[in-house]
Amino acid sequence: MTLELKAVNSGYGQTQIIRDVSMSCRDESITVVVGPNGAGKTTTLKTVNGLIGAWSGSIVFQGEDVTRLRAFERVERGMASCPEGRRLFPRLTTEANLRLGAYSKRARKSVEETLEDVYGLFPRLRERAGVAAGRLSGGEQQMVGIGRALMAKPSLVVLDEPSLGLSPKLVGEIFEKTQELRKRGLSVLLVEQNAFQALQIADYAYVMQEGKVVNEGPPSKLMDQEELKKAYFSIE
């Protein structure tokens, strides 16, 4: 198992946001988290990657309890994230943004090789290597965000709404690349508003609502449930 959350509680300041969240991400699989705005999806991911601390419960990554480890220590162990809204450095070039992802000891040894892998996955980024990230299209910026996470040589990639604001064609492309990551042996934890499309590529999915996991299962099971169809997938 790549990642296991066991009864995790966390929040901001005194405000509890997520409650008893338990989730698992298997090796070489895509785990999707769906749910309405404000459900606590981003907060869950931040607790996973260590940007905020868990109040209780545990986070086990590749058999090691990482609950008390800092974010960079989790990166060293092979967990990399692309945050909501991507957070690129707009004045730096595409390639400079990518290279920033390789700051961990784990990644530093093989930067050039990993960069080649990322360009192999996103040929468009090689063409745009010398262009300031702020001048890229939304889709290209998202590719840089994912590529930067890959530069850390992760075994788990955590992606927060990578399709946000992209055209349907680009959304499809991002989901194809996500499947390619699985083929390359990575495990992906993906939060998505595009629930219907995300479930098409998921191996397993969780539905969150008001800070809790309210449903889980293989995508076929979730897509069969009438209430979910109406609430999240906009299909009648």
Q: Which does 72 bind (CB under 5 to 8 A by kind): ligand ADP, Mg ion, none?
A: none
Question: At its nearest, how many Å lie between ligand ADP and the CB of residue 163?
Answer: 14
Q: Is 38 an interacting residue with respect to ligand ADP (CB under 6 A)? A: yes
Q: Which does 43 bind (CB under 5 to 8 A by kind): ligand ADP, Mg ion, none?
A: ligand ADP
In angstroms, the CA 151 to CA 230 distance is 38
Per DSSP, the three-state class of 62 is coil
* CB closer to ligand ADP, 38 vs 53: 38
Residue 15, strand partner residues: 12
* Residues whose CB is less than 8 angstroms from the CB of residue 40 and which lie 6 or more positions away in sequence, other chains included: 17, 18, 21, 208, 210, 211, 212
Q: Is 210 an interacting residue with respect to ligand ADP (CB under 6 A)? A: no
Nearest to 225 by CA among 197, 203, 196, 201: 196
* CB closer to ligand ADP, 65 vs 210: 210
Q: Is 104 an interacting residue with respect to Mg ion (CB under 5 A)? A: no
Q: Is 81 an interacting residue with respect to ligand ADP (CB under 6 A)? A: no
Binding site for ligand ADP (CB under 6 A): 12, 15, 17, 35, 37-43
Binding site for Mg ion (CB under 5 A): 41-42
